[in-house]
């Protein structure tokens, strides 16, 4: 069954079309034939009743007690049809039998009284040889004698006309269906042709040629919509591929820097013999670079696992101010070394539902940055407050050089650095803010930066309160 | 103490063998899963260090077979994958501890010691190294008979170093065990450095005999000699 069903949409559409049309035409044929049949029979009945009256007027008693039909008067209209007549006496004797009937009879002799067999409407019956006839019965009084008159017309003409009509339909209907099938197939193919073209076009678009787009002929119709949707998917794919490519290139670059250091330090150390202490120093220096590599790889793994959705957020209710204090106390000594002050302030009752370690990591990264970029003796403000739409806000305000407008949108991108030489000197790989953004966004929050060059920056984290926690996958 | 190291990477295997032998352990190295499986069945070991990614018979398979046979030898697994599920899988199969590659060698030694003395651990409240004394319960530290004041974090750091005296501890161990920060992605190195320099300032500066030593590129150690 499955195999018989056509594979292509256009064939299926045509098949359905032909099927539906066939059913409709069949219904039409049935209705039309019935109508024809009933109107023809009505005509036949009408003629029969008229003829019956005419025959009645021509009945004559013959001397032998039988009945004869008088000859047709001149000028009187005699219908050209096969007519059968029988006249029966009240006691069941056949008084007249028209020659056309030959040996056949128009039914059994009337048994009951003549009144019972007299009918107003004609009825259909079959003669002994199978001829279908339409017969009317009436009673008649002839010289004190009641006789029963049966007049019948053959239905042959009626059936012949029906047959002719039927044979016309039998030829015309399949022909119409075949024509409709071809027409439907052509129409479906024409309608589906743009989809075929789209599929061919789409097949040619590979990972290397994602910048290509499908042509949109009519943006308003369904196909235009399909093409637009497809193009939008392509655009997202292209963006994702670009990001991946850039990420891979950046990551390789970042890995290359410590690798170069390890290699050159090792090669240079082997050029001339050195004392044990010097070798120890060289090996230590190489191990430091290994540490950097390790941390870089771990950060990348954290981000890639986050991308893949493999990190599970273990939510608990946390005091946001407490979290900010904890984060700042982790890195506070770094500020002390630069004679900076970290001020943590805000409403201690604000609770957030989140993963303590992940959120703390975001705040540590922000405060760590603020310490790095602010000058000595600066003040760093960590402010916890309720924002609008019942959001919870943590702001980290530094007194650093600020971030210019062009960098603000990309500062949370992986490996993005405002000043690469300076950041690397501080040991960063340009992933801290990317990790912070991931940590905030996995909690359904947002992270933004406001900054005026030369006047410091404010990093702002907006989170949802406990009551409004929202799972994001 | 006999340790079986099942590790296919030649350099890592040799480094493990050399490092562990220097610490006075007897080390047998198996370079394939099959070899490790055979050795575990044939000989008695006090500890198995098992790489999970092995050619042939995988580490997890060896581990579950060891446990099914009823061998209670402690197993420390080494894995390059640190997704939570991988760790859980290893621990579920009967591993006693795990280390994520690349690991710091001092950390491997610390875990090894911990597994070998398991059941005999007790936290001594009185710690001492040379003339440095610590009373953990009273939270009091004396060097050369004089009280030294510490912040909470400094005290915890010193306690950790004292408990691991004469053993090198890595920054990673400190970040995880003293600062309780499990993610290596969080930058705590400079924080640790600052704390160490403050400890130095408080307990070493006024004395000729320095106790806190930096092993460059590896970590720190609290010991009497250079």
Instruction: Indicate if B111 and B201 belong to the same structural domain.
Output: no
Domain boundaries, chain A: 9-68+78-160, 244-307, 316-468
Q: Give the 3-state secondary structure of residue A48.
A: helix
Confidence of residue B211 (pLDDT cuts 50, 70, 90): very high
In CATH, what class is A316-468?
A: alpha beta
Instruction: Indicate if B108 and B198 belong to the same structural domain.
Output: no
- The answer to whether the CB of A435 falls within 8 A of the CB of A302 is yes
Q: Stretch A458-469: mean pLDDT, rounded?
A: 78
> In which element (H, E) is residue B215 found?
strand B212-215
| Domain assignment of residue B94, yes or no | yes
Q: Give the 3-state secondary structure of residue A452.
A: coil
Give the pLDDT score at A423. 53
Instruction: Indicate if B6 and B112 belong to the same structural domain.
Output: yes
Give the pLDDT score at A111. 61
Confidence of residue A473 (pLDDT cuts 50, 70, 90): very low
Q: Which of B102, B187, B215 sits opposite A368 (nearest CB)?
A: B187
Residue A264 backbone dihedrals phi, psi, to 5 degrees:
-70, -35
Q: Tell whether the model's pLDDT for residue B189 goes beyond 90.
A: no
| Domain assignment of residue B188, yes or no | yes
Single residue among B61, B82, B116 that ends a domain in this structure: B116
Single residue among B82, B116, B150 that ends a domain in this structure: B116
DSSP annotation of A71: P
Here the CATH number for the domain that contains residue B75 is 3.40.50.2300
Cβ burial of A95 (10 Å; 0-12, 13-18, 19+) is buried
B198 inside 8 A of chain A by CB:
yes
Give the pLDDT score at A472. 44
Give the pLDDT score at A198. 83
Mean pLDDT check: name the lowest of A37-51, A67-81, A237-251. A67-81
Q: Which of A295, A305, A331 sits opposite B83 (nearest CB)?
A: A305
**CA-based diameter of chain B, in Å?**
60
Give the pLDDT score at B121. 55
Is the peptide bond prior to B102 cis by the omega test (within 30 degrees of 0)?
A: yes
In CATH, what class is A244-307?
A: mainly alpha
Report d(CA A288, CA B126) in Å as an integer.
34
Q: Stretch A201-226: mean pLDDT, rounded?
A: 80
Tokens of A60: 């004559």
Nearest partner of B153 among B188, B106, B109, B111, judged by Cα: B188
Confidence of residue A78 (pLDDT cuts 50, 70, 90): low
Q: Which fold has domain A9-68+78-160?
A: Beta-Lactamase (3.30.450)
Q: Stretch A441-458: mean pLDDT, rounded?
A: 89
Give the pLDDT score at A73. 58
- The answer to whether the CB of A255 falls within 8 A of the CB of A220 is no
Q: Tell whether the model's pLDDT for residue A190 goes beyond 60.
A: yes
A205 or A397, greater pLDDT: A397
Give the pLDDT score at A402. 85
A48 or A257, greater pLDDT: A48
Q: Tell whether the model's pLDDT for residue A446 goes beyond 60.
A: yes
Q: Stretch B90-118: mean pLDDT, rounded?
A: 85
B152 inside 8 A of chain A by CB:
no
> Chain B residue with minimal CA distance to A262?
B217
Report d(CA B106, CA B126) in Å as an integer.
24
Residue A142, CA atoms < 13 Å, CB-side half-sphere: 23
Q: Using a pLDDT cut of 70, give the percent of chain B over it.
A: 93
Q: Give the 3-state secondary structure of residue A253.
A: helix
Q: Tell whether the model's pLDDT for residue A400 goes beyond 90.
A: no
Mutation pick from B186, B188, B216 vs chain A, by most beta carbons of A within 10 Å, is B186
Give the pLDDT score at A88. 84
Contact B194 A295 (CB under 8 A): no
Contact A331 B191 (CB under 8 A): yes
Give the pLDDT score at B192. 92
Residues of A in contact with B194 (CB under 8 A): 333-334, 336-337
- The answer to whether the CB of B9 falls within 8 A of the CB of B33 is no
Confidence of residue A69 (pLDDT cuts 50, 70, 90): confident
Q: Using a pLDDT cut of 90, give the percent of chain B over it.
A: 27
Give the pLDDT score at A34. 94
Q: Which domain holds residue B32?
A: 2-116
Q: Stretch A440-456: mean pLDDT, rounded?
A: 89
DSSP annotation of A403: -
Give the pLDDT score at A120. 65
At which residue do the structure tokens 């984290």 appear?
A461
Average pLDDT of chain B is 86
Q: Tell whether the model's pLDDT for residue B157 goes beyond 90.
A: yes
Contact A284 B84 (CB under 8 A): no
Mean pLDDT check: name the lowest of A128-137, A200-209, B157-166. A200-209
- The answer to whether the CB of A399 falls within 8 A of the CB of A456 is yes
Contact A330 B191 (CB under 8 A): yes
Report d(CA A381, CA B40) in Å as an integer.
59
Give the pLDDT score at A13. 87
Q: What is the 3-state secondary structure (H, E, C) of B38-98?
A: HHHHHCCCCEEEEECCCCCCCHHHHHHHHHHCCCCCCEEEEECCCCHHHHHHHHHCCCCEE
List of E strands, B67-177: 75-79, 97-100, 126-129, 132-135, 140-143, 146-148, 169-170
Tokens of B10: 């030649």
Q: Stretch B25-42: mean pLDDT, rounded?
A: 88
Residue B184 backbone dihedrals phi, psi, to 5 degrees:
-75, -10
Beta partners for residue B133, in sequence order = B128, B142
> Chain B residue with minimal CA distance to A289?
B217
Give the pLDDT score at A171. 92
Confidence of residue A469 (pLDDT cuts 50, 70, 90): very low
Tokens of A100: 């056309």
Instruction: Indicate if B33 and B56 belong to the same structural domain.
Output: yes
Q: How many domains does chain B have?
A: 2
Q: Stretch A17-41: mean pLDDT, rounded?
A: 93
Cβ burial of A340 (10 Å; 0-12, 13-18, 19+) is buried
Mean pLDDT check: name the lowest of A245-254, A275-284, B38-47, B189-198. A245-254
The angle formed by the CA atoms of residues B64, B67 and B73, to the nearest 5 degrees, is 120
Shortest distance, CA B155 to any CA of chain A (angstroms): 15
Q: Tell whether the model's pLDDT for residue A55 goes beyond 90.
A: no
Report d(CA A418, CA A434) in Å as an integer.
14
Shortest distance, CA B171 to any CA of chain A (angstroms): 10
Instruction: Indicate if B177 and B195 belong to the same structural domain.
Output: yes
Confidence of residue A61 (pLDDT cuts 50, 70, 90): confident
Single residue among B116, B148, B172 that ends a domain in this structure: B116
Instruction: Indicate if B110 and B135 belong to the same structural domain.
Output: no
Mean pLDDT check: name the lowest of A126-130, A271-275, B38-42. A126-130
Instruction: Indicate if B79 and B143 belong to the same structural domain.
Output: no
| Domain assignment of residue B121, yes or no | no
Contact A284 B217 (CB under 8 A): yes
Q: Stretch B24-45: mean pLDDT, rounded?
A: 88
> In which element (H, E) is residue A322 found?
helix A320-337
| Domain assignment of residue B96, yes or no | yes
Report d(CA B174, CA B181) in Å as an integer.
9
| Domain assignment of residue B143, yes or no | yes
Give the pLDDT score at A228. 87
Q: Tell whether the model's pLDDT for residue A76 goes beyond 60.
A: no
Q: Stretch A400-427: mean pLDDT, rounded?
A: 73
Here the CATH number for the domain that contains residue B205 is 1.10.10.10
DSSP annotation of A465: B
| Domain assignment of residue B7, yes or no | yes
Instruction: Indicate if B9 and B66 belong to the same structural domain.
Output: yes
| Domain assignment of residue B99, yes or no | yes
Across the A:B interface, residue pairs with CB atoms under 8 Å apart total 67
Average pLDDT of chain A is 83
Instruction: Indicate if B36 and B97 belong to the same structural domain.
Output: yes
pLDDT, one tens digit per residue, over B22-33 is: 989 999 999 888
> In which element (H, E) is residue A364 found?
helix A356-373
Q: Tell whether the model's pLDDT for residue A420 goes beyond 70.
A: no
B171 inside 8 A of chain A by CB:
yes
Instruction: Indicate if B108 and B139 belong to the same structural domain.
Output: no
Say whether pTM exceeds 0.90.
no
């Amino acid at each position: 069954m499955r195999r018989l069903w056509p594979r292509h949409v256009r064939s299926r559409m045509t098949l359905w079309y032909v099927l539906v049309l066939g059913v409709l035409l069949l219904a039409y044929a049935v209705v039309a034939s019935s109508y024809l049949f009933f109107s023809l029979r009505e005509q036949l009945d009408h003629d029969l009743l008229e003829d019956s009256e005419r025959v009645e007027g021509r009945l004559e008693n013959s001397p032998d007690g039988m009945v004869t039909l008088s000859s047709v008067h001149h000028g009187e209209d005699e219908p050209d049809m096969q007519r059968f007549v029988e006249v029966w006496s009240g006691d069941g004797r056949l008084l007249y039998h028209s020659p056309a009937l030959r040996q056949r009879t128009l039914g059994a002799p009337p048994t009951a009284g003549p009144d019972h067999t007299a009918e107003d409407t004609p009825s259909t019956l079959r003669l002994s040889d199978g001829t279908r006839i339409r017969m009317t019965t009436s009673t008649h009084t002839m010289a004190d004698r009641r006789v029963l008159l049966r007049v019948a017309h053959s239905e042959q003409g009626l059936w012949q006309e029906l047959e002719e009509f039927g044979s016309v339909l039998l030829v015309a209907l399949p022909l119409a269906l075949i024509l409709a099938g071809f027409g439907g197939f052509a129409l479906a193919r024409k309608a589906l042709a743009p989809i075929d073209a789209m599929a061919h076009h789409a097949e040619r678009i590979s990972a290397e040629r994602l910048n290509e787009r499908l042509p949109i002929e009519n943006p308003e119709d369904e196909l235009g919509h399909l093409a637009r949707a497809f193009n939008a998917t392509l655009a997202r794919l292209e963006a994702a591929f670009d990001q991946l490519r850039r990420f891979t290139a950046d990551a390789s670059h970042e890995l290359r820097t410590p690798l170069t250091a390890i290699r050159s330090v090792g090669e240079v150390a082997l050029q001339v013999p050195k004392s044990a202490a010097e070798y120890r120093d060289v090996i230590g220096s190489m191990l430091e670079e290994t540490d950097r590599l390790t941390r870089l790889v771990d950060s990348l793994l954290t981000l890639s696992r986050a991308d893949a959705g493999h990190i599970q957020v273990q939510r608990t209710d946390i005091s946001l101010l407490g979290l900010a204090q904890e984060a700042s106390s982790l890195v506070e000594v770094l500020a002390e070394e630069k004679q900076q002050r970290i001020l943590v302030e805000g409403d201690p009752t604000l609770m957030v539902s989140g993963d303590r370690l992940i959120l703390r990591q975001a705040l540590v990264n922000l405060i760590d940055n603020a310490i790095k970029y602010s000058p000595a003796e600066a003040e760093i403000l960590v402010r916890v407050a309720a924002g609008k739409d019942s959001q919870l806000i943590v702001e980290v305000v530094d007194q650093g050089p600020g971030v210019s407008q062009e960098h603000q949108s990309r500062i949370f991108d992986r490996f993005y650095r405002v000043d690469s030489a300076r950041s690397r000197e501080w040991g960063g790989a340009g992933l801290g803010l990317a990790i912070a953004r991931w940590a905030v966004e996995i909690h359904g929050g947002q992270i933004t930066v406001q900054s005026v060059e030369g006047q410091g920056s404010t990093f702002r984290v907006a989170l949802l309160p406990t009551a409004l926690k929202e799972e994001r996958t | 103490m006999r340790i079986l190291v099942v590790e296919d990477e030649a350099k890592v295997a040799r480094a493990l063998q050399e490092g562990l032998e220097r610490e006075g352990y007897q080390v047998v190295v198996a370079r394939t899963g099959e070899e490790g499986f055979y050795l575990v069945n044939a000989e008695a070991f006090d500890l198995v260090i098992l790489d999970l990614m092995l050619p042939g018979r995988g580490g997890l398979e060896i581990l579950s077979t060891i446990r099914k046979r009823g061998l209670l030898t402690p197993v420390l697994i080494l894995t390059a994958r640190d997704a939570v599920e991988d760790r859980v899988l290893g621990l579920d199969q009967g591993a006693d501890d795990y280390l994520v590659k690349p690991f710091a060698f001092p950390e491997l030694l610390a875990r090894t010691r911990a597994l070998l003395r398991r059941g005999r651990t007790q936290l001594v409240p009185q710690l001492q190294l040379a003339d440095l004394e610590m009373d953990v319960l009273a939270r009091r530290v004396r060097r050369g008979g004089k009280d030294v004041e510490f912040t909470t974090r400094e005290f915890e750091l010193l306690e950790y170093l004292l408990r691991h005296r004469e053993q090198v501890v890595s920054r990673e161990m400190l970040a995880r065990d003293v600062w309780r920060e499990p993610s290596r992605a969080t930058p705590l190195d400079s924080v640790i450095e600052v704390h160490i320099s403050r400890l130095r300032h408080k307990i070493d500066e006024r004395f000729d005999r320095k106790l806190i030593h930096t092993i460059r590129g590896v970590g720190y150690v609290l010991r009497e000699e250079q």
